[in-house]
């Protein structure tokens, strides 16, 4: 099945948007598409490619952009390691990212056909960082990075230079990136899981390697970040990629009213949650959430529950349905009045922006980091995988707006120490909190009418329109 809408006018520059089907990747690119449509002032029209199982993510976007954005729905391609009907990484085991990257390349032929048959074919494509093969569609390809600029710097270094351990088998060996500003360094076990899985000579992994190398060879790069937090890394990317076509357009936040309907099922109505927060003192609530993919182990759930209970703090804890059975018996009764446990999903941006929320215990996914930055909330960091370690280091060591709590997908915090940090996050940490508020003002200024990210967005639109006019 292919759904094509014919609303593209010849006098507009047509752009194709292709998100990667993982919530943390898809949502910021769709929000960026909304900003493109609104800011484009009628000079561009946009097609967003999704598979049938993810079409629902477009509903609000399509209804709010008055025909400037249209869907292209292509069947999800079959793949031996992906069960039929699974179209989102969150439904797959941890290896699902690489399988999904590999599977989606099979959309190359139908997408080429759609481009060649369209009466007003796109002049450019903006596609996710995991979709490097779209560089070979015959369009100017702009990479969209939902990750930080420093992560882009690190990925370029990894996949172009292919560094290895001097002591094979030693996962604690430190890998230092001396060519990147601040010379970031990480133990091997914190380096990209996808990179560590690379097997030289295996066609599957050679494709994965080429995916990231194609990012470096693409026409331009759009990053969900802003100059006040990553200016040094943005400048490095321009030097590293040997062009100035790098646009920092973040923080990309949901349009007003869009945050409340973008998640999944929840056990607590949104108005109930907001009413509960309204009754709390300013800055005295800790928001606890580990993103759309992380599932805490039973030991982690019990340690976290114990730490929350001992801390005496007010909190909202969002926990995935699959981990709910491991919550200690009687916990919710014992914290009645000061704690809410939400099974499933919560409107994170709205919660973080509530005056009662003063701290955020987070896995440090980049979307969560930017949402916390924009909200001026202190971050308590517990990175689990991938670029989350990089994000946590940026938050704590460079920006000074966070405090380390734990790190690692298998680590279990000491509940007494956790309780101490949680309690202190609402009563102390004044320097970090002041920096968080200052950084929030910078983030909101960046996306204001005359802010750096708005200017970058305008420059990107101007560049894309010029490509369309040159056709």
- Assess contact for 126 and 179: CB atoms under 8 A: no
CA angle 77, 33, 47 (to 5 degrees): 50
- Assess contact for 37 and 68: CB atoms under 8 A: yes
Strands (E), 336-388: 339-343, 357-362, 378-381
- Pick the catalytic residue from 8, 14, 102, 128: 128
Q: CA-to-CA distance for 153 and 216, rounded, in angstroms? A: 10
Q: CA-to-CA distance for 355 and 281, rounded, in angstroms? A: 8
Strands (E), 320-377: 339-343, 357-362
Q: CA-to-CA distance for 67 and 61, rounded, in angstroms? A: 10
**Is 25 among the catalytic positions?**
yes
User: Could you please report the per-residue DSSP string of 160-191?
Assistant: HH----SSTT-TT-EEE-TTSTT--EEEGGGS
Q: CA-to-CA distance for 263 and 208, rounded, in angstroms? A: 29
Q: Using alpha carbons, list the distances in angstroms from residue 318 to 287, 289, 354, 427, 428.
A: 8, 5, 16, 22, 24
Which of 343, 276, 344, 354 has its CA nearest to residue 314? Answer: 276
**Is 128 among the catalytic positions?**
yes
Q: CA-to-CA distance for 7 and 289, rounded, in angstroms? A: 40
Q: Using alpha carbons, list the distances in angstroms from residue 174 to 165, 363, 448.
A: 8, 22, 40
Cβ neighbours of 261 (radius 10 Å): 12
Q: Across-strand partners of 222?
A: 144, 247
Angle between helices 366-375 and 23-39 (to 10 degrees): 50
User: Could you please report the per-residue DSSP string of 77-119?
Assistant: PPBTTB-TT--SGGGS-TTHHHHHHHHHGGGHHHHHHHHHH-S
- Pick the catalytic residue from 25, 34, 258, 284: 25
> Which residues neighbour 193 within 8 Å (Cβ) at sequence distance 6 or greater?
94, 97, 385, 386
> Which residues are annotated as catalytic?
25, 128
């Amino acid at each position: 099945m292919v759904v094509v809408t014919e609303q593209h006018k010849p006098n507009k520059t047509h752009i194709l948007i292709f998100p990667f089907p993982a919530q943390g990747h898809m949502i910021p690119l769709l929000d960026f598409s909304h900003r493109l449509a609104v800011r484009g002032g009628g000079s561009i029209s946009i097609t967003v490619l999704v598979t049938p199982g993810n079409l629902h993510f477009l509903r609000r976007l399509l209804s709010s952009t008055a025909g400037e954005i249209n869907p292209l729905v292509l069947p999800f391609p079959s793949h031996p390691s992906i069960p039929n009907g699974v179209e989102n990484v969150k439904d797959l085991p941890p290896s699902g990212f690489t399988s999904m990257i590999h599977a989606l390349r099979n959309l190359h032929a139908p997408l080429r056909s759609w481009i060649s048959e369209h009466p007003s074919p796109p002049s450019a494509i903006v596609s996710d960082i995991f979709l490097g093969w779209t560089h070979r569609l015959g369009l100017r390809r702009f990479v969209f990075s939902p990750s930080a600029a420093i992560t882009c710097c690190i990925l370029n270094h990894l996949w172009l230079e292919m560094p290895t351990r001097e002591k094979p088998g030693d996962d604690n060996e430190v890998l230092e990136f001396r060519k990147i500003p601040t010379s970031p360094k990480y133990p091997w076990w914190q380096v990209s899981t996808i990179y560590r899985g690379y097997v030289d000579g295996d066609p599957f992994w050679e494709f994965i390697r080429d995916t990231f190398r194609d990012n470096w060879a693409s026409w331009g790069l759009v990053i969900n970040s802003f100059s006040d937090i990553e200016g040094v890394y943005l400048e490095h990317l321009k030097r590293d990629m040997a062009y100035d076509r790098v646009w920092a357009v973040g923080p990309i936040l949901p349009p007003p009213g869009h945050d409340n309907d973008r998640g999944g099922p929840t056990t607590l109505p949104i108005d109930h949650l907001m009413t509960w927060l309204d009754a709390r003192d300013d800055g005295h609530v800790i928001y606890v959430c580990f993103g759309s993919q992380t599932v805490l182990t039973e030991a982690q759930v019990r340690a976290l529950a114990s730490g929350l209970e001992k801390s005496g703090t007010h909190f909202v804890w969002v926990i995935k349905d699959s981990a709910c059975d491991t919550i200690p018996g009687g916990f919710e009764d014992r914290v009645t009045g000061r704690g809410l446990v939400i099974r499933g999903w919560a409107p994170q941006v709205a919660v973080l922006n509530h005056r009662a929320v003063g701290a955020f215990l987070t896995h440090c996914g980049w979307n969560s980091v930017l949402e916390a930055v924009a909200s001026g909330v202190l971050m308590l960091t517990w990175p689990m995988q991938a670029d989350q370690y990089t994000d946590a280091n940026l938050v704590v060591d460079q920006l000074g707006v966070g405090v380390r709590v734990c790190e690692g997908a298998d680590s279990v915090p000491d509940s007494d120490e956790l309780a101490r940090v949680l309690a202190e996050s609402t009563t102390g940490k004044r320097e970090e909190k002041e920096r968080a508020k200052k950084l929030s003002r910078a983030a909101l200024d960046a996306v204001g009418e005359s802010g750096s990210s708005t200017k970058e967005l305008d420059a990107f639109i101007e560049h894309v329109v010029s490509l369309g006019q040159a056709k």
